[in-house]
Amino acid sequence: MRPCVPSTNLQVPGSGPACALKYFGLEFGAELPALKDQALVYNLAKLCVCNLLVAQCDINCCCDPDCSAADFSLFTTCSVPVVTGDSQLCSQEAAVYSIDVTAHPPERIFKLIDQFNPNIFCIQTVNYKQALSFIPPETPTAQNFDHLLEQFGGAAFSAESDILNTELDAQSPFFYSNETARYEYGVPIQTADAFLRLPSPTVSSQCSDANPAGFLVNQATKCSRMINTENCGVIQELSMLFYTSSHILVVPNSSQMVNITVQSITFQSLNGTRTLLNSTDAILFPMFSGVNMCTNIVLGASYLLTYTDAGEITEAAVSFVLGTVNSTVLSVQQSFEISFTQSTNEYGQLTILRSTSNQDCLAIEGARTPVLFGYNMISGCKLRITAYAECQLLAQTVLNILKGQSFPEYVASFGNSQPQDVLDWVPITYIHSSEQGPCQLPISFEIEVKWTKYGSLVNPQAKIISVTASITSSTLALTNLRSKNTLQIASSVTFIDVSAPAEPGYKAQPTIEAKLPFDFFFPFV
C-alpha cells in the first residue's frame, strides 16, 4: 500500500489517496463512500488529510477538530484550503477553509459549496464499489482458503462480475476496432478462437492456461500439472495437439491465419537423457502402456514466431520435449517458452545464436539475437549426445542451430544501403575447417566483420568491407556415438577496424578552361 501524503485534493474514490479516508476520515466519524442511486455520498466536513497528530492541533490545519478558536487565531493560512472528492466527477461538493485575518482575533471560515466540472468527459455516475473506499485484503485462514484459491488462484481474476471479461471482449467484433492492422509490442496474439496462450503458474504453482502471449514479449514459464497416468490419454494439456491446433492471425482481426508447425521433437527418458526424433510429421498422442507408464506427454513446448517490420506474423513453429512418467507420479512439471525473431531474407537482419539459461542446444533451436554493429558477442549451448545418435542428422541439426533459418548471403556496407544498390552489399565468405574422420560435427560458428571509416574527417561513416563466416567441425569417434557425451557449441561475432591512418587532403585548384570569341580583340588585332 502506498503511503498517505497530504494533498490539496483528496481523491476519495480512487485507489491512491483513498488511504487518507481510512486513516483520517474514519478517526473522526466520516461516512464511508457508498452507492446511493449511483451517486457518491460522503461527509466532506469530517474529512481532514492534514490531521497527523492524535489529540493535538496541527498547525495551519483548518479542518483539524482538535483545534480550538484560540488555535485558529494563531494560524496564518490553511495548509489544505479545499477538500473535494474525485476531480473527474461532473458535480460534487467541496469543503472550503480559510482564515479571516481582518477579524480580531483571526478566525476560521468554513463553508460547503457545489463544484461543477465543465469537462465534457466528466463522470456523471460511479457504479464500481471497489473504487469508492479502501478495502483491506482478506487474511487467508483454514476456513476461507478454498474460497480465496478459487477466486484468486488463476492467472487473472476479477473482484466483481461487473469487471469486463477479457475473453468475451476478445471474441467481440469490436475488440481492437480502434487499433491499426498490425501487432504492436505487448498486444495479445490473436488466434481463430481467442488468444495464443502460454501456460503459467498460479499461486499454488499449478498450470493455468489463461495467460495470453504478448507480441514481442519473450516469456519462459514453469508450472505443475496434476496427472493420472491411467487417464493421461484424455488430458488434452498433455498432448501435442493442444499446442498446435490454434491458428494465429497474421494481424489483429485478420482473416489470414498462420498454422503452427512442429519444428522438432525431443524425447526425454526417465533418467533425463534426451534424443532428437528423426520425423516431425506425425502428432504423438499420450498413451498408457501396460507397464504402468504414460508415454508421449508434453514436458516442454517452445514457440518461435517470425514477424516482419510491418507487425505481421509470418511463421509460427513449436519445439516439443516429450517424456515418460510412471504411475507413482502425481504431478508433472511442464516448461513453456516463446520467443520472436524477425523474418530473415537476403536483406534482413544478421543474427546469431541466443544463449538461454538451460544451455540445451536442442531446446533453443530457432532462438536468435540480432547482431549490433560494433558489439563483439559470444553465445553457446551444450549438445547432449545420446546413445546411437545418427551422425548426419545430428550434424545438420547443429548447423541449423548455429546459422539459424535462411542465413543471409549479403550484408549492407552502410546502415541505410538500399536493396537496388548492388555495390553497397558485401557477400559473406565461408571458411570451413574440419578434421578427418567418419563423423564431423560443427562446434563453432565465428563471424568476423571488417569495417573502415569512410568519408570526411569531420564526420566519418562506418563502412563494412568484408564479412567472413568460419565453421569449425570436430571429429567425433563412432564409439562416442554409442555412449552419452556432451559437446560445447559456440557462436561469436567480432568487429575489426581496418581503417587506414587518416590523412588530410585538399582538392586540386580548379582550372579555367575559357575560350574567347575569334573577334574578341577586333579591331586591334
Per domain, the residue ranges of the chain are 35-116, 187-342, 351-497
Cα–Cα distance measured from residue 241 to residue 278, given in angstroms and rounded to the nearest whole number: 19
Cα–Cα distance measured from residue 55 to residue 79, given in angstroms and rounded to the nearest whole number: 19
Q: pLDDT category, 159, cuts 50, 70, 90?
A: very low
User: 387, 364, 166: which is closest to 269 by C-alpha?
Assistant: 387
Q: Looking up cell 475488440, which residue turns up?
A: 175
As a residue count, the chain comes to 525
Q: Looking up cell 504431478, which residue turns up?
A: 331
Cα–Cα distance measured from residue 393 to residue 140, given in angstroms and rounded to the nearest whole number: 55
Q: Read off φ and ψ for residue 488, nearest 5 degrees.
A: -95, 120
* pLDDT cut 90: percent of the chain above it: 15
| 204 grid coordinates | 499454488
What CA–CA distances, in Å, run from 298 to 71, 316, 321, 447? Answer: 74, 18, 6, 36
What CA–CA distances, in Å, run from 324 to 151, 236, 319, 333, 377? Answer: 33, 16, 17, 12, 38
Q: Is pLDDT above 70 for 484? A: no
Q: pLDDT category, 362, cuts 50, 70, 90?
A: confident
**More confident call, 230 vs 38:** 230
Residue 77 carries which DSSP code? S
Q: What is the reported pLDDT for 427?
A: 92
Residue 190 carries which DSSP code? B
| 462 grid coordinates | 562506418
Cα–Cα distance measured from residue 220 to residue 339, given in angstroms and rounded to the nearest whole number: 9
| Peptide bond between residue 523 and the one before it cis (omega within 30 degrees of 0) | yes
Q: Is pLDDT above 70 for 286? A: yes
Residues 419-446: b if buried by 16+ CB within 10 A, e if exposed? eeeeebbbebeeeeeeeeeebbbbbbbb
Q: Which residues touch 515 (CB under 8 Å, ≥6 apart)?
A: none
- Encode pLDDT of 185-195 as tens digits: 888 999 988 88
| 366 grid coordinates | 530457432
Burial of residue 206, with CB atoms counted within 10 A of its CB: 0-12 exposed, 13-18 middle, 19 or more buried: middle
Q: pLDDT category, 37, cuts 50, 70, 90?
A: very low
Distance from CA of residue 363 to its chain's centroid?
Answer: 20
Query: Can you tell me the mean pLDDT for 143-151?
Result: 82
**More confident call, 219 vs 518:** 219
CA dihedral 85, 90, 93, 95 (to 10 degrees): 60
**Cα angle, residue 255 at apex, residues 254 and 256 outer, rounded to 5°:** 90
Q: What is the reported pLDDT for 446?
A: 93
Cα–Cα distance measured from residue 282 to residue 129, given in angstroms and rounded to the nearest whole number: 53
Give alpha helix (H) positions in 228-359: 241-244
Cα–Cα distance measured from residue 201 to residue 196, given in angstroms and rounded to the nearest whole number: 16
User: 73, 57, 94, 80: which is closest to 4 by C-alpha?
Assistant: 80
Q: What is the CA radius of gyration of the chain?
A: 35
Mean per-residue pLDDT over the chain, rounded? 78
Q: Is pLDDT above 60 for 311? A: yes
Cα–Cα distance measured from residue 21 to residue 49, given in angstroms and rounded to the nearest whole number: 8
- Encode pLDDT of 207-264 as tens digits: 888 888 999 888 889 999 888 878 888 888 888 999 988 899 999 988 889 999 998 8
**More confident call, 156 vs 378:** 378
| 222 grid coordinates | 514453469
- Cβ proximity of 309 and 342 under 8 Å: yes
- Cβ proximity of 229 and 328 under 8 Å: no
What are the counts of helices (DSSP H) followed by strands (DSSP E) for the chain?
Answer: 7, 23
Range from 59-63, 122-126, 133-137, 328-332 carrying the lowest mean pLDDT: 133-137
Cα–Cα distance measured from residue 444 to residue 494, given in angstroms and rounded to the nearest whole number: 13
Q: What is the pTM of this model?
A: 0.44
Range from 78-82, 323-327, 388-392, 395-399 carrying the lowest mean pLDDT: 388-392
- Cβ proximity of 387 and 482 under 8 Å: yes
| 3 grid coordinates | 503511503
> Which residues is 431 bridged to in the sheet?
470
Q: pLDDT category, 174, cuts 50, 70, 90?
A: very low
Cα–Cα distance measured from residue 70 to residue 471, given in angstroms and rounded to the nearest whole number: 89
Query: Can you tell me the mean pLDDT for 132-143?
Result: 74
**More confident call, 369 vs 496:** 496
First to last CA, the chain: 104
Q: What is the reported pLDDT for 146?
A: 84
Q: What is the reported pLDDT for 494?
A: 94
> Which residues is 206 bridged to in the sheet?
224
Q: What is the reported pLDDT for 360?
A: 79
Element (H, E) at 490: strand 485-497
Helix (H, G, I), strand (E, B) or coil at 108: strand
Q: What is the reported pLDDT for 492?
A: 93
Q: What is the reported pLDDT for 61?
A: 92
